[in-house]
Amino acid sequence: MPFLTRYSDDQSTPGIGEALRDAALRAVAPAVLLWAAIVGIGELIRGPLGGLNSENAVSRDVQKTRTPTWDDITAVWSHIGNTEIVIGVCVVAVAILWWRTRQWWVAVTPALAIALQATVFVIATTVVGRQRPTVPHLDPAPPTSSYPSGHVGASTALYVTFALLAQRIERSWLRRVLTTLFLLVPVLVAYARLYRGMHHVTDILVGAVNGLACATLAWGYLRRRTS
């Protein structure tokens, strides 16, 4: 599958100007369209769909399953999507990738993914301004609104990019294990944010779409001979 192996199949070094131009055309421009779509869905939810108040019933049902043990477990999962954790993990990953591969154009893909995701998320959440679920919140509410989920979006963008990078690993068993673990992380974050009353279901789903789209855009930002 050329898209998955595009940086292994073509390891030629791009110029910085070439990489910046490609990023603008192949990642930033499509992200603007992604932002417009996310805002459009958000306004549809808040307007014609009346806020989808039925989702509060889902949040209340999930609230009934809370236990002290799961409160503690989901606290850890939720924190994985915190801004400082995502940025810290990303910085370390970029540094290790740059050191191990000597390919800066590959090493920057996680940073590009979360930068795109964060930009789309911050502007969209400001425009839409959806209220959080009407259940007790187990985490401090950030200053942003509920839609879309930034925790889910950020963790999806980062760890899906890690899963794509893992396809470069030659040992098949290690590649499969790491890919599975990386893809599991945003699922755990998503459940934690729902369990802890921080987001509606649609907030989480659209956050995941945002993260997945930004990871895909970041992975494909640079033109390669195989693409």
Domain that holds residue 20: 16-219
Residue 163 resides in a domain: yes
Residue 89 resides in a domain: yes
| pLDDT, tens digit (0-9, with 9 covering 90-100), for 181-191 | 999 999 999 99
Residue 3 resides in a domain: no
| pLDDT, tens digit (0-9, with 9 covering 90-100), for 77-98 | 999 999 999 999 999 999 999 9
Residue 29 resides in a domain: yes
Residue 8 resides in a domain: no
Residue 195 resides in a domain: yes
CA gap 164, 183 in Å, rounded: 10
Residue 215 resides in a domain: yes
Residue 225 resides in a domain: no
Give the number of domains in the chain: 1
Q: What is the CATH number of the domain that holds 170?
A: 1.10.606.20
204 by DSSP, 3-state: which? helix
Burial 147-164 (b: 16+ CB within 10 A, else e): bbbbbbbbbbbbbbbbbb
| pLDDT, tens digit (0-9, with 9 covering 90-100), for 3-32 | 888 898 889 999 999 999 999 999 999 999
